[in-house]
Amino acid sequence: MFFRSVSLILICSGISLAVIGCGGAQRPPGMPKLYHATVSVVQDGKPLAEAIVSLVPRDAGNQWSSGGVTDSKGQLTLTTYGQFPGVPAGQYKVCITKQERVGELDFSNPASPKGNQELFEVVDPIFKSEATTTQEMEVSSKGKNHFIFDVGKPVKIKAAVPGV
C-alpha cells in the first residue's frame, strides 16, 4: 500500500511538472533569436546607478521591447520584454533617463500624506526621447555587444508628476 501511494504521488508530480513546465516563461510566438548585450552608463565620469535604458528599434519590423535598469556600477545586461535575456540583432536608438526624489513625505495621515517631496530629472532630457537622443547602438549576431553611454553632467530639472 505504501509503495502504491508513493508511486501515485510521483506520477502526479511528474504530470504537474509536464503541465507547468521547467525553465521559466515561454517565449512569445515569433520572437527572434536574442543576442547577449550589455550597457554601461556613465555620468560626469562616474557609473550611473538606477538609470532606465530603453532601446527603440530603427527597423520598423522589430516590435520587441528591450532595455532595463542599471545596477550600482552603472551596468546592465539587456533583456527583452523584461524577462528574456538578450536583444534581437539590429540598430537601436538608446533612451536613458533617471529621476530622483528630494525631500520627505509625512505618512502620519494615510488619507492625505503631506510633505515637501519633489521629483527631478538628473539626466539631460535630450536622452529621454527617441526624437532627441544622440545615443545609438547596433546589436550584432557576431562578436561582443558591449556599449558605453556617457550622459554628460548631472542636471536637476523639476519633473512633471503624472496626475498632479
Look at residue 143 in the predicted model and tell me its pLDDT: 81
User: Is residue 49, in this structure, part of any structural domain at all?
Assistant: yes
User: Is residue 69, in this structure, part of any structural domain at all?
Assistant: yes
Structural domain including 79 reads 28-97+127-152
DSSP letters for 83-145: TEESEESEEEEEEEE-EEEES-EE-SSTTS-EE--EEEE-S-GGGTSTTT---EEEE-SSS--
User: Is residue 91, in this structure, part of any structural domain at all?
Assistant: yes
User: Is residue 88, in this structure, part of any structural domain at all?
Assistant: yes
Edge-to-edge order in the sheet of strand 118-121: 99-102, 118-121, 157-158
Look at residue 5 in the predicted model and tell me its pLDDT: 39
pLDDT 10s digits, 124-140:
999 999 999 999 999 99
Averaged over 61-90, what is the pLDDT?
Answer: 96
Cα separation, 112 vs 127, in Å, equals: 35
User: Is residue 135, in this structure, part of any structural domain at all?
Assistant: yes
The four Cα atoms 115, 116, 119, 124 give a dihedral, to 10 degrees, of -170
User: Is residue 40, in this structure, part of any structural domain at all?
Assistant: yes
CATH number of the domain to which 37 belongs? 2.60.40.10
pLDDT of residue 4 exceeding 50, the answer is no
Report if pTM > 0.85. Answer: no
Look at residue 55 in the predicted model and tell me its pLDDT: 98
Look at residue 104 in the predicted model and tell me its pLDDT: 73
pLDDT 10s digits, 28-71:
899 999 999 999 999 999 999 999 999 999 998 899 999 999 99
pLDDT of residue 74 exceeding 50, the answer is yes
User: Is residue 73, in this structure, part of any structural domain at all?
Assistant: yes
Nearest to 40 by CA among 65, 66, 67, 70: 70
Number of domains in the chain: 1
